[in-house]
Structure 1
Amino acid sequence: MLDISKLKLNEKVDLSKYKSMQYTFQKDRFLTFNKIMTIFGIVLLAILFLPWTQIVQGKGYVTALDPGQRAQSIESAIAGRIEKWYVKEGQIVEKGDTILHISEIKDKFFDPLLLERAQSQITAKNFSLESYVEKVKSLNYQIEALKEERKLKLEQALNKLIQANLKIESDSIDLEAAETQVVIAERQFERTESLEEEGLLAKTDLEAKKLQLQNSLAKVISQKNKLLSSRNELINAQIEISSIKASYQEKISKAESDKFTALSGQFDTEAQRTKLETDFSNFNVRSGMRFITAPQGGFVNKALQSGIGETFKEGTQIVSIMPIDFDLAVETYVDPIDLPLLHPGEPIRLIFDGWPAIFFSGWPNLSYGTYGGEIVAVSRTMDPQKGKFRVLIKEDPEEQPWPDVIRAGSGARTMALLEDVPVWYEIWRKINGFPPDYYTPQESNTDKNKNQNSKK
Structure 2
Amino acid sequence: MLNITNNKLHEKVDLLQYEAGKKVFNERNQKYFNRFLIAFGIILILILFLPWTQTVAGTGYVTTLTPDQRPQTIQSPIPGRIEKWYINEGDYVEKGDTILHISEVKNEYFDPKLVDRTGDQIKVKESSQDSYKNKIQFLTNQIDALQQEKSLKIDQAQNKLEQSKLKFRSDSIDLEAAKTNLEIAERQFERARTLNEEGLKSTTDLENFRLKLQETQAKRVAQENKVLASKNEIINSRIELNRIEAEYNEKVSKTQSDRSSAESALYQTQADISKLETSYANYDTRRGLYYIKAPQSGYINKAIKAGIGESFKEGEPLVGIMPSNYDIAVETYVAAIDMPLLHIGEEVRVQFDGWPAIVFSGWPNSSYGTYGANIVAIENFISANGKYRVLLAPNEEDYQWPEDIRIGAGASTLALLEEVPIWYEIWRQLNGFPPNYYTPESATKTKESK
1:194 offset after TM fit, Å?
A: 3.6
Would the alpha carbon gap of residues 185 and 323 (structure 1) be closer, same or farther in structure 2, given more than 3 Å must change?
same
1:197 offset after TM fit, Å?
A: 4.1
Partner of 2:235: 235
1:198 offset after TM fit, Å?
A: 4.4
1:361 offset after TM fit, Å?
A: 1.0
Partner of 2:99: 99
Partner of 1:248: 248
- Verify the 8 A CA contact 1:175 1:220 in the aligned structure 2: yes
Q: Distance in 2 between the 1:224 and 1:40 partners?
A: 158
Q: Distance in 2 between the 1:79 and 1:197 partners?
A: 131
* TM-score of the two chains, using structure 1 as the length reference: 0.88
- Verify the 8 A CA contact 1:61 1:411 in the aligned structure 2: yes
1:22 offset after TM fit, Å?
A: 7.3
Equivalent positions of 1:152-171 (< 5 A) are: 152-171=152-171
Q: Equivalent residue of 1:281, what SS? A: helix
- Verify the 8 A CA contact 1:344 1:446 in the aligned structure 2: no
Q: Distance in 2 between the 1:415 and 1:12 partners?
A: 61
Comparing 439-448 with 76-85, greater Cα deviation is found at 439-448
Would the alpha carbon gap of residues 228 and 353 (structure 1) be closer, same or farther in structure 2, given more than 3 Å must change?
same
Q: What whole-Å deviation, never above 9, does each CA across 1:200-222 have from its counterpart, x for those lacking one?
A: 44444433333332222222211
Q: Distance in 2 between the 1:238 and 1:209 partners?
A: 43
- Verify the 8 A CA contact 1:72 1:322 in the aligned structure 2: yes
Residue 168 of structure 2 corresponds to residue 148 of structure 1: no
Partner of 1:432: 431
Equivalent positions of 1:98-137 (< 5 A) are: 98-137=98-137
Q: Equivalent residue of 2:306, what SS? A: coil
Partner of 2:416: 417
Comparing 206-215 with 89-98, greater Cα deviation is found at 206-215
Letter in 1 for 2:386: G
1:424 offset after TM fit, Å?
A: 2.4
1:98 offset after TM fit, Å?
A: 0.9
Q: What whole-Å deviation, never above 9, does each CA across 1:292-315 have from its counterpart, x for those lacking one?
A: 111222222222221112111111
1:21 offset after TM fit, Å?
A: 7.5
Q: Equivalent residue of 1:263, what SS? A: helix
Would the alpha carbon gap of residues 154 and 15 (structure 1) be closer, same or farther in structure 2, given more than 3 Å must change?
farther
Partner of 1:63: 63
Q: Distance in 1 between the 2:262 and 2:250 partners?
A: 18
1:112 offset after TM fit, Å?
A: 1.8
Identity %: 53
Q: Equivalent residue of 1:245, what SS? A: helix
Q: Distance in 2 between the 1:334 and 1:433 partners?
A: 17
Would the alpha carbon gap of residues 9 and 63 (structure 1) be closer, same or farther in structure 2, given more than 3 Å must change?
closer
- Verify the 8 A CA contact 1:165 1:234 in the aligned structure 2: yes
Q: Distance in 1 between the 2:319 and 2:107 partners?
A: 26
Structure 1 unaligned residues grouped into runs of 5+: none
Partner of 2:396: 397
Q: What whole-Å deviation, never above 9, does each CA across 1:418-444 have from its counterpart, x for those lacking one?
A: 111222222233333332222222226
Q: Distance in 2 between the 1:35 and 1:148 partners?
A: 134
Partner of 1:225: 225
Letter in 1 for 2:264: S
Partner of 2:407: 408
Q: Distance in 1 between the 2:442 and 2:283 partners?
A: 56
- Verify the 8 A CA contact 1:103 1:290 in the aligned structure 2: yes
Q: Equivalent residue of 2:402, what SS? A: coil
Comparing 426-435 with 27-36, greater Cα deviation is found at 27-36
Letter in 2 for 1:219: K
1:19 offset after TM fit, Å?
A: 8.1
Partner of 2:320: 320
Q: Distance in 1 between the 2:10 and 2:304 partners?
A: 90
Would the alpha carbon gap of residues 431 and 226 (structure 1) be closer, same or farther in structure 2, given more than 3 Å must change?
farther
Q: Equivalent residue of 1:239, what SS? A: helix
1:277 offset after TM fit, Å?
A: 1.7
Partner of 2:188: 188
Partner of 2:442: 443
Q: Equivalent residue of 1:381, what SS? A: coil
Q: What whole-Å deviation, never above 9, does each CA across 1:90-129 have from its counterpart, x for those lacking one?
A: 2211121111011111111112222222222222222222
- Verify the 8 A CA contact 1:345 1:445 in the aligned structure 2: no
Q: What whole-Å deviation, never above 9, does each CA across 1:357-397 have from its counterpart, x for those lacking one?
A: 222111112112222222222222222x2222222222222
1:12 offset after TM fit, Å?
A: 8.5
Would the alpha carbon gap of residues 446 and 274 (structure 1) be closer, same or farther in structure 2, given more than 3 Å must change?
farther
Q: Distance in 1 between the 2:372 and 2:397 partners?
A: 8
Q: What whole-Å deviation, never above 9, does each CA across 1:147-190 have from its counterpart, x for those lacking one?
A: 22222222222222222222222222221221122222222333
Q: What whole-Å deviation, never above 9, does each CA across 1:36-79 have from its counterpart, x for those lacking one?
A: 44444433333332221111222222222232222221111111
- Verify the 8 A CA contact 1:58 1:415 in the aligned structure 2: yes
Letter in 2 for 1:155: D
Residue 297 of structure 2 corresponds to residue 266 of structure 1: no
Q: Distance in 2 between the 1:154 and 1:86 partners?
A: 83
Q: What whole-Å deviation, never above 9, does each CA across 1:8-33 have from its counterpart, x for those lacking one?
A: 44498537378887777677766655
Letter in 1 for 2:434: P
Q: Equivalent residue of 1:350, what SS? A: strand
Comparing 315-324 with 125-134, greater Cα deviation is found at 125-134
Letter in 2 for 1:322: M
- Verify the 8 A CA contact 1:346 1:444 in the aligned structure 2: no
Partner of 1:370: 370
Q: Distance in 2 between the 1:117 and 1:3 partners?
A: 111
Would the alpha carbon gap of residues 3 and 360 (structure 1) be closer, same or farther in structure 2, given more than 3 Å must change?
closer
1:352 offset after TM fit, Å?
A: 1.9
Partner of 2:359: 359
Would the alpha carbon gap of residues 226 and 361 (structure 1) be closer, same or farther in structure 2, given more than 3 Å must change?
same
Comparing 127-136 with 369-378, greater Cα deviation is found at 127-136
Equivalent positions of 1:73-88 (< 5 A) are: 73-88=73-88
- Verify the 8 A CA contact 1:345 1:446 in the aligned structure 2: no
Would the alpha carbon gap of residues 421 and 292 (structure 1) be closer, same or farther in structure 2, given more than 3 Å must change?
same
Q: Distance in 1 between the 2:256 and 2:175 partners?
A: 50
